[in-house]
Structure 1
Amino acid sequence: MNAARTALSSVLAIALASCGGGGSSTTPPTGGGGGTPPATGGCSLAAQQDFADNVLNEWYLFPDLLASVNRSSVTTLQAYLDARVAPARAVSRDRGFTFATSIAEENALISSGSSAGFGIRLFYDTAANRVFVTEAFEGANGLAAGLDRGTEITAIGTTANPLQSVSSLMASGGPQAVVNALGPTTAGTARVLRFIQQPGGPTIERSVTKTDFALDPVSDRYGAVILNDGPKRVGYINLRTFIVADASNQLRSAFGQFRAQGVSEVIIDLRYNGGGLVEVAEVMGDLLGSGRTGQVFGRTVLRASKSALNTTRTFRSEANAIAPTRLAFITTSASASASELIANAMIPYLGTNMALVGGNTFGKPVGQDGFDLAACDLRIRALTFQTVNANGQGEYFNGLAGVVPNSCRAGDDITRPLGDTNEASIRTALDFLAGRSCTPIAGSPKGADEAQRARSGLDLPDRLPLMSDRPRAGQFEVPGMF
């Protein structure tokens, strides 16, 4: 048995959240135990169910919220997991956070960001059923073909004639029909896409091939920049995901730039970040914690029977750490798990000098460990722990907007690049840092009982990530990725 702790999300399972997002680690929890492979049965569904029961019965964070399930009533392991944690889902404690995935695919994503696809992130307008690129990843074929933030995909085909319009696909089969038209997540898959680069821009038809690419957690284009707001210099960092281990070193490099420039006010953009590795969030905390070495960053709490494994994480010394005087986190309901963990951890130290900007977060103060049935390439991500900050705050299941002292409502303007001072959320974050007034975030994310929302963790007012009904590991961690 191997366990990896994640602060994933979605997120997105729902994914992300499908994951669902949460928090993860690359080391197993002390104590071993549950997750012992069955002695017989190989990789049959019954054997996988036995394995799942071993994991859940020993490690699940809310043992009183596990259901007994008639095994013959389900045909997949994921359906079995969903049925077993249904009582926890009914009280919004497990909204798609317990799921099955591939060991090989997830390990590749963690170690190098490796995935196969066009290298774009797609969301769809829930009212008009239009599909937009919200982000394009460097080094992949999508960006090379002209697909970038704000691009609208209007038609898809295996060849140029005929193409199926996105509107007709949506009308016939909803978002899944669009997912199907985009083809399998395997290198070599080619599709002809018709797209409009920006509102009012040219319409282009181009064949784009899916390839293996490495997801860069901090973009070389806009991931770490210093913004000028009048005479003031503000650090801006956009972290796409906490799941790629190298994110820690990229964060160190980014904060080195901030420290060298004497930056004391920072915008951390986590608007699509559904979570990932807890240890990456802890490194980000250390980089925001100059002068706080030895003070409590956060605590990890397991079920009562595993309380001996509860831990306290203190701030550690980082050469490039800064001591921010004001801090703004750009978030949406796609921001979950590790994204929420870092924001929550800073509340005791920044207080009214920090804010959420954009929308309320997903609400995932809990995380998963991964339990492996190696012979079957099966990893079960089971909800096993909760995180709290130095003040003991950790019940933000309805999002952080009611917990963080300040919040400012702002939109996600995909007509402008990320890192642009005129983009709606960035502009509002700069306003907060400058002491200018804003409209608070009201309400909380809706429940994620719907299958897709439960798997991606997202519930934006007018836009959702395009997600497969059966997302691969990459989409679990980076919702909307194709």
Structure 2
Amino acid sequence: MRPVLVTPLLALSLVLGACGGGDGGSGTVANGGGSATPTPSPTPTPTSSACSLSERQAWALAALQEWYLFPDQLDSSVDPDAYTDLQSYIDALVAPARAQSKDRYFTYVTSIEEENAYYSSGETAGLGVRLGFDYSAGRLFVIEAYESGPAYPLGFDRGTEIVSIGTSPANLQTVSSLFASGGIDAVSAAMGGSAAGTTRTFQIRQLDSSLSTVSVTKRNFELAPLSPRYGYKVMTSNGRRYGYVNLRTFVDTAEPALREAFAEFRAQGVTEVVVDLRYNGGGLISVAETFSNLLNRGRSGAVMSYTRFRDSKSDYNETAYFSAENSAIAATRVAFIGTGSTASSSELVMNAQKPYLPNDVALIGDNTYGKPVGQIGLDYSACDDRLRVVALRTENAANEGDYYTGLASTYPATCRAVDNIGYQLGDAADPMVMAASGFLSGASCTAIGAAPGGIATQSVRSAATRRPLEAQDPNFAQRELPGLF
């Protein structure tokens, strides 16, 4: 499917987006495969009052009534006058589906301009870090840093702890005191908005326990979908060579980067791969299809996935097939690294692989988020509104879908491993990479669904209670990448 089809005032795009980070997070998405894209009916040309709240509410309700995947779970009786913003009204309309864990904040309104900028180049504004909050210890850590962001050159990297936050060195407040006084919302609010030019001062603690105070001004930057430091490499474990690839997000610029990675794997004769999607909340289906093709040389014409709309929109159902990629490898064994932040397009790639490597594919780490549904994007251009509507669901070639509780219970093999941010991503000593390479070599492991054992005694940098810090008013990139600031 092509990402965007524009009519005079309405655009429809299909992507598989983020889980939003945790059970209370928001998500983006449109799921599926194939080549046909539904063409919505044009909306009337707006008048000068078209962007009033009542007009936008009426537009959103009509769109949901036409496209929502769960029409019997749409509460059309909600009084729009009871809500002072569009998103709260949408949340009320889809609340019945959310209560059944079928739409966990996946239907929402966002900015057309923000979304287009993100998917075309990965562009957003902020510090350029993803943050994880340890709810047990009340501590805040950098779990990933983007090399092009303003914070990375000032000492922020994976494992860095943010001890205090302020608008200047004179008014720093400790993260622990913020959390004690106002909960996680106070911590998130202290980070400030994502607007370029916003400055915050931090006291940070490095892995060697050294402390420093730095001020960072947020700015626009591009999110490289594969890190120039650890995006891909060929590694050796127990005498076996395997490829490692870490995809941050499914944006347009990921395709050439993925092709480059797999060309290297192919040149070195690699057929076993560790695919690290531990923080990847999803994105464009076209990129998910390219990723799947790169793993499946020789399967052109075989079914990759099925996309299903509601009964009244069944004419848009479609089938995606594997196609040839020059850089593709014929993967013989694949270990996918995942966590609760792994969702949507990431899960689509993982689910699509199962029927073809039933005994040679595994989920490593923790259970995934559980988002087998996708969204279409409906545009109200005059108001810069894009409504992401859950409108479809996907299945793999074996007609397996509906993994609303995550992929762990459906996967042929799983290995539990902790996400220890004391190790850089792609480090051979990282517990998740070690467990993944162990699976490739046939080592035994503890299944994800088994008793947690000693996880509770792990250090704070591998704590099981750490989850992405959610922004109070997330922009589009923060919906796609939970914990992004």
TM-score normalised by the chain length of structure 1: 0.93
Q: 1:167 is matched with which residue?
A: 176
Q: In 2, distance between residues paired with 1:91 and 1:413?
A: 32
Q: In 1, distance between residues paired with 2:419 and 2:482?
A: 16
Amino acid of the structure 2 residue aligned with 1:247: A
Q: 2:328 is matched with which residue?
A: 321
Cα distance change on mapping 1:173 and 1:203 into 2, 3 Å: same
Q: In 2, distance between residues paired with 1:28 and 1:59?
A: 16
Q: 1:480 is matched with which residue?
A: 483
Q: 1:33 is matched with which residue?
A: 41
Q: In 2, distance between residues paired with 1:287 and 1:48?
A: 42
1:214 equivalent in alignment to 2:214:
no
Instruction: Note the C-alpha offset of 1:249.
Output: 1.4
Q: In 2, distance between residues paired with 1:360 and 1:119?
A: 26
Matches within 5 A, 1:420-431: 420-431=427-438
Amino acid of the structure 1 residue aligned with 2:230: Y
Q: 2:98 is matched with which residue?
A: 89
Q: In 1, distance between residues paired with 2:376 and 2:437?
A: 37
Residues 59-104 of structure 1 show CA distances to partners (whole Å, capped at 9, x for unaligned) of 1111111012111222211111111111111111111110111111
Residues 26-68 of structure 1 show CA distances to partners (whole Å, capped at 9, x for unaligned) of 9993231376676674111111111101210111111111012
Q: Is the 8 A contact 1:360 1:400 kept in 2?
A: yes
Cα distance change on mapping 1:22 and 1:400 into 2, 3 Å: farther
Cα distance change on mapping 1:38 and 1:85 into 2, 3 Å: farther
Amino acid of the structure 2 residue aligned with 1:392: N
* Equivalent in 312, 328, 333 of residue 319 of structure 2: 312
* Equivalent in 320, 327, 343 of residue 336 of structure 1: 343
Q: 1:121 is matched with which residue?
A: 130
1:54 equivalent in alignment to 2:57:
no
* Equivalent in 127, 144, 148 of residue 139 of structure 1: 148
Q: Is the 8 A contact 2:370 2:405 kept in 1?
A: yes
Q: 1:233 is matched with which residue?
A: 241
Q: Is the 8 A contact 2:373 2:391 kept in 1?
A: yes
Cα distance change on mapping 1:308 and 1:85 into 2, 3 Å: same
* Equivalent in 280, 284, 292 of residue 291 of structure 2: 284
Q: 1:463 is matched with which residue?
A: 466
Q: 1:415 is matched with which residue?
A: 422
**TM-align CA RMSD:** 2.0
Q: In 1, distance between residues paired with 2:197 and 2:302?
A: 50
Name the SS for the 1:476 alignment partner.
helix
Cα distance change on mapping 1:369 and 1:91 into 2, 3 Å: same
Q: In 2, distance between residues paired with 1:59 and 1:12?
A: 25
Amino acid of the structure 1 residue aligned with 2:209: G
Q: In 2, distance between residues paired with 1:380 and 1:87?
A: 19
Q: Percent identity?
A: 47
Name the SS for the 1:82 alignment partner.
helix
Name the SS for the 2:409 alignment partner.
coil
Instruction: Note the C-alpha offset of 1:157.
Output: 1.4
1:432 equivalent in alignment to 2:435:
no
* Equivalent in 258, 271, 282 of residue 251 of structure 1: 258
Q: Is the 8 A contact 1:28 1:369 kept in 2?
A: no
Structure 2: any 5+ residue segments left out of the alignment?
A: 1-9, 452-462
Q: In 2, distance between residues paired with 1:9 and 1:231?
A: 37
Q: 1:348 is matched with which residue?
A: 355
Cα distance change on mapping 1:345 and 1:34 into 2, 3 Å: farther
Structure 1: any 5+ residue segments left out of the alignment?
A: 445-459
Q: In 2, distance between residues paired with 1:9 and 1:357?
A: 19
Residues 426-471 of structure 1 show CA distances to partners (whole Å, capped at 9, x for unaligned) of 1000111100000011189xxxxxxxxxxxxxxx941111112221
Cα distance change on mapping 1:126 and 1:25 into 2, 3 Å: farther
Q: Is the 8 A contact 1:40 1:47 kept in 2?
A: no
Amino acid of the structure 2 residue aligned with 1:23: N
Instruction: Note the C-alpha offset of 1:411.
Output: 0.4
Cα distance change on mapping 1:36 and 1:433 into 2, 3 Å: farther
Name the SS for the 1:352 alignment partner.
coil
Instruction: Note the C-alpha offset of 1:160.
Output: 0.9
1:371 equivalent in alignment to 2:397:
no
Q: Is the 8 A contact 2:35 2:320 kept in 1?
A: no
Q: Is the 8 A contact 2:32 2:392 kept in 1?
A: no
Amino acid of the structure 2 residue aligned with 1:299: Y
* Equivalent in 391, 407, 411 of residue 398 of structure 2: 391
Name the SS for the 2:327 alignment partner.
coil
Instruction: Note the C-alpha offset of 1:404.
Output: 1.2
Higher mean C-alpha displacement, 329-338 vs 17-26: 17-26
Q: In 2, distance between residues paired with 1:27 and 1:110?
A: 19
Matches within 5 A, 1:440-451: 440-442=447-449
Q: In 2, distance between residues paired with 1:30 and 1:443?
A: 43
